[in-house]
Structure 1
Amino acid sequence: MVEPKRTPLYEEHLAAKAKLIDFGGWEMPVQYAGVIDEHHAVRTKAGLFDVSHMGEIDVRGKEALAFVQMLITNDASKLVDGKILYSPMCYPNGGIVDDLLVYRYNQEHFFIVVNASNADKDYAWMVEQTEEFDVVVENVSDQYAQLALQGPLAETILQRITNVNLAQIKYYGFTHGDVDGVPCLISRTGYTGEDGFEIYVSPEYGRQLWRKVLEIGAPEGVQPIGLGARDTLRFEARLPLYGNELGPEISPLEAGLGIFVKLDKAAFIGKDALLTQKEQGVPRKLVGLEMIGRGIARSHYPLQKDGVEIGFVTSGSFSPTLNKNIALGLIRSDLAVQGDVLDVMIRGKAVQAKMIPTLFYQRGN
């Protein structure tokens, strides 16, 4: 039996009496006070996440920019120093290896953040692609603990313990500075639909910063947040999850990520397949679903129309913000019509759902 991996904050989760689960080989907190309570805390105040399980990969060398351009579907040539780019990374057939964040230090140094369960696979894939490039790719995941402070009060709270003017870090930007006297990389992206910051720090300082952020945020009710609320938060904001909306059998065009696929840029892995798919018509489309009948549409439940299977649920849950059961589904494009009704097969029983826009929640709405 393989021992689960643990982040540098494992002892803090035990002390907080978190419920721990296996997540991609990591022993991680799924909840502390409860998913609904934690979800609302992030939407209304701020919450602190341990995301130290995420993977970090360094790309350096004279041809680092050209290498990253070839690797991802988005256009890294538009990225300037100190900014971050979101992009899918594809196989030659157009299926998704992973989705990731590309941090640009300069044209010879990029820092790439990948999903925890894919870190080793992504690293091996990137190394395979280096043959024709003057670059060095290094998996530096063990060199970082990562904390994410998310919610409308995140800037106010974090500003109390950092020497960085956080207002100057624009969305999808990053810089370096001290947090509680500790050198950190600070970025502003997020995976909840709210404003927030990521703090990358050497693992030995992870527990110190975790405690400090909770301490200085206590007057506003800041609390630790587990993977359960992380999932409902990202789902409401229509942020994709690998293994649900994304995977090797799903293209970024099918997943609704066409805005991050720059087919007019020079060659990149998967370009030919994606170009063909766009020209011939994307066969499947991601749709939003609101349950009409009783029940929750869980991931991978079949979707039917008139008794014929037309796709499957990618993500589904009760939405704490909207107070209703909603889902995302990948179905035949020709049947993706807003307002139409289809059936979710819940344990063999057909339960009706209506197709609605996929962006269930938007900040300030």
Structure 2
Amino acid sequence: MKTTPFTQKHINLGAKMHEFAGYNMPIEYSGINDEHVNVRTGVGVFDVSHMGEFWVKGPKALDFLQHVTSNDVSKLTPGKAQYSCLPNGKGGIIDDLLVYYYEPEKYLLVVNAANIQKDWNWCVKNNSFGAELENTSDKIAQLAIQGPKAIEVLQKLTPVNLSEIPYYSFTTGEFAGISDVIISNTGYTGAGGFELYFYNEDGGKLWDAIFEAGKEFGIKPIGLGARDTLRLEMGFCLYGNDIDDTTSPIEAGLGWITKFTDNKDFIDKKLLLEQKENGASRRLRGFILEDRGIPRHGYPIENADGEVIGEVTSGTMSPMMKQGIGMGYVSTSYSKFDSEIFIRVRNKALKARIVKLPIYKA
């Protein structure tokens, strides 16, 4: 298995370790519920160094990105980030990703760990524009410091005014005595916070500085288990569960990152525009169980007559709500908000209700 600059720290801290996307990653430390609540109410640190990073450079960088991604990259200005996806040429999704506009003719793509090679091959295959592509996934590490107290912890370690970095914006500056750290106001928890990008060799120093600065705020390391429950409460998609090569961005409720502007001729544009105009046969929806139980990936979704109308893609017991919550694709005729649906859990049909995202509303 691959390791990150922090793997030994996780082991020394007693984390429950498991393979994820080929990496030896921490699943939990003090327990998923405890870690989850600590992020929602305080501050926690995630090792997300397994994520992939590609540089896209040169005079043809924008042309290339406008072709391979669904969102309108031309709307970005330096220091801004954008959520997007890579359409697969068949109406599905190669991956979802972040696009950072680093400086003129230079962009950073951040992709999911399990898809690094697939994404890289796709980008190379579709680079008929002559953009300069560089896969730096093995050189760049990443920590996500999330929670309402994250800004107080991190501000102690940088001269950069973090309160001046809006959501989905970033800057590059000194952090914990390390130069050229990318400080990004993005995140996958809905609890606020920042993501830091830096070279592997600076990881140990940075980790130690953050945990020292966070002592007074009850900072804790957080595993991938709580990362999953946090993102699910927000209704954020997880690639491989809620979106994949068989799901379209229109079905997944990602029409807002799929731009059909005249200046953008992207892969699957015609197919996805037809789907948007004619309507998809299914929609990804969030739901809350009204009966006691825990929905899981793959459980059938039924109507009141017991007919299967969809399938759960992600499910858990919400640590904040103490209710079963989830997401799943349902037939469009059953997709209206506040509709009653049933989740087949073992041999019981448990009543649930479709809700607007986010599922957890603080």
Hey, what does 2:342 align to over in structure 1?
A: 343
Q: What pairs up with 1:30-45 in 2 under 5 angstroms?
A: 30-45=27-42
Matched, 1:86 2:83: yes
When structure 1 is superposed on structure 2, of 312-321 and 341-350 the one drifting more is 341-350
Partner AA of 2:6 in structure 1 = L
Matched, 1:12 2:9: yes
Hey, what does 1:232 align to over in structure 2?
A: 229
Matched, 1:126 2:126: no
For residue 288 of structure 1, report the CA deviation from its aligned partner: 2.1
1:45–1:151 CA contact under 8 A, matched in 2: yes
For residue 189 of structure 1, report the CA deviation from its aligned partner: 0.3
| TM-superposition CA deviations, 1:263-287 (whole Å, max 9, x none) | 1242101111101111221111122
For residue 176 of structure 1, report the CA deviation from its aligned partner: 1.3
| TM-superposition CA deviations, 1:60-119 (whole Å, max 9, x none) | 121100110111111000100111111111112220111100011234111100011111
**Divergent runs of 4+, >6 A:** none
Seen in structure 2, the aligned counterparts of structure 1 residues 198 and 339 have a Cα distance that, compared at 3 Å, is closer
When structure 1 is superposed on structure 2, of 45-54 and 88-97 the one drifting more is 88-97
Matched, 1:153 2:149: yes
When structure 1 is superposed on structure 2, of 323-332 and 217-226 the one drifting more is 323-332
For residue 348 of structure 1, report the CA deviation from its aligned partner: 4.3
Q: SS of the counterpart of 2:183?
A: strand
When structure 1 is superposed on structure 2, of 320-329 and 8-17 the one drifting more is 320-329
2:62–2:74 CA contact under 8 A, matched in 1: yes
2:288–2:359 CA contact under 8 A, matched in 1: no
1:53–1:116 CA contact under 8 A, matched in 2: yes
Hey, what does 1:70 align to over in structure 2?
A: 67
Q: Please report the RMSD computed on the Cα atoms of aligned residues, expressed in angstroms.
A: 1.3
Hey, what does 1:304 align to over in structure 2?
A: 302
Q: SS of the counterpart of 2:138?
A: helix
For residue 8 of structure 1, report the CA deviation from its aligned partner: 1.0
Q: What pairs up with 1:269-308 in 2 under 5 angstroms?
A: 269-305=267-303, 306-308=305-307
Hey, what does 1:104 align to over in structure 2?
A: 101
| TM-superposition CA deviations, 1:37-73 (whole Å, max 9, x none) | 1111111111011000000001112110011011111
Partner AA of 1:345 in structure 2 = R
Q: SS of the counterpart of 1:42?
A: helix
Q: Distance in 2 between matches of 1:153 and 1:320?
A: 19
TM-score (norm 1): 0.95
TM-score (norm 2): 0.96
Partner AA of 2:310 in structure 1 = G
What is the percentage of aligned positions where both structures have the same residue?
46
2:52–2:112 CA contact under 8 A, matched in 1: yes
Q: SS of the counterpart of 2:152?
A: helix
For residue 199 of structure 1, report the CA deviation from its aligned partner: 1.0
For residue 342 of structure 1, report the CA deviation from its aligned partner: 2.3
Q: Distance in 2 between matches of 1:98 and 1:220?
A: 35
For residue 205 of structure 1, report the CA deviation from its aligned partner: 1.4
| TM-superposition CA deviations, 1:210-268 (whole Å, max 9, x none) | 12111110111011000011011111111111011111111111111111111124210
Partner AA of 1:164 in structure 2 = V
